[in-house]
Structure 1
């Protein structure tokens, strides 16, 4: 096992279920890719490598989904089932 430093262009989003689950989004400019990695604790469970156009399509889908979740009543702010976690910088374990 080796420890890899988290790239500068990386963002961690925790799963609402907790228990160390989450998604890391990392930009690899040198390769022209955005990598999504699903985590369970300190182990990477899966990765998806996206070209810029694929990442843009994902962002469009997320944007549409968020728009659909907006409350009908203007000015009403929905209660979040979780507290959003700030981006973290933690070492990654590799196999």
Structure 2
């Protein structure tokens, strides 16, 4: 019994498909890296804009407590700011 339908994938079609897959796999990591860089730039710009609009509340201190062979605490001086109902700080 002979096959009447001889359609199928040729070697060229398989190679073109593999080429497309390889190109996508090569471009994907660089696209992710570029997106991460743009995300960091946007975050930095957002922080910068927020700091420009913020008003200094007062000098403040954050107390960090930790336990390791006893109770210890450390006071870290910071600048506290308020902007649009949000409070944030930066280290001196």
TM-score bracket for this pair, using the shorter chain length: under 0.3
- TM-score if structure 1 supplies the norm length? 0.26
Structure exhibiting the larger radius of gyration computed from Cα positions: 2
Q: Which has the higher contact order (CA 8 A, sep 6+)?
A: 1
- TM-score if structure 2 supplies the norm length? 0.27
Which structure shows the higher helix fraction? 2
